[in-house]
Amino acid sequence: MAYWQTRGLRGSTLEELINYTNEKYRDKGLGLIQKIPTPIKPIKIDQKSRHISLAYFEQKSTVDYIGVVQGISICFDAKETTKELLPLCNIHEHQMMFMEDFEKQGGIAFILVYFSKYNEYYYLPYTFIKDYWDKAKLGGRKSIPYKDMNPQYQIATKDGVYLHFLEQLQYYLSTLDE
């Protein structure tokens, strides 16, 4: 029985669930995905304890995760919303630019969104997000509504993997072939 079923992962943050998932993927040889830590600049370090007594947050990083999955470069950001929609202001311009450039290099970019109200997780392809983003710039709605979620992109717990998003990645890749 999997760890979260016996111990319960209910109290875990989205980031922790993704980290568990990535560890599983690494163990199973399915992919190697690295968390990009928030950039913090340490200023004063206590030499004995190695504690940091002064530090600054540096300019916001790009996306939360970058990795390689069976020859495919992927990057994604994790987002969480309590509402019936994902506000586009949760996605930063520089993140959009990073995902754009990442895809131009032949990688696959996406957002993993958690709708906590429904306790559901979805894989949002970059091109899907960009559509809303571009329309918002032209005066359209400033969010992606829950009702627009495609059931084929819902992420499930499967094969001992808590957020088995590689299934949705695979589905996304299959749509490109069409």
Residues at the interface with its own copies (CB under 8 A): 26, 29, 31-32, 34, 36-40, 42, 50-58, 61-62, 66-73, 75, 98, 101-102, 104-107
Is 62 one of the annotated binding-site residues? yes
Token digits of residue 76: 């994604």
Cα(176)–Cα(178) distance, integer angstroms: 5
Which residues ranging from 8 to 67 are in contact with Mg ion (CB under 5 A)? 64
Comparing CB distances to its own copies, the nearer of 31 and 125 is 31
* Cβ(128)–Cβ(148) below 8 Å: no
From its own copies, Mg ion, none, which one binds at residue 150 (CB under 5 to 8 Å depending on kind)? none
Give yes or no for residue 78 binding Mg ion (CB under 5 A): yes
Cα(150)–Cα(153) distance, integer angstroms: 5
Q: Identify the sign of the CA torsion 5, 17, 113, 118.
A: positive
> What is the identity of the amino acid at 12?
S
* Cβ(61)–Cβ(39) below 8 Å: yes
Is 46 one of the annotated binding-site residues? no
CB of 20: closest distance to its own copies in angstroms?
16
Q: Using CB under 5 A, pick the residue from 65, 77, 103, 166 that binds Mg ion.
A: 77
Cα(139)–Cα(54) distance, integer angstroms: 43
Q: Say how many residues touch Mg ion, by CB under 5 A.
A: 3
Residues flagged as binding site for Mg(2+): 62, 64, 77, 95
Residues flagged as binding site: 62, 64, 77, 95
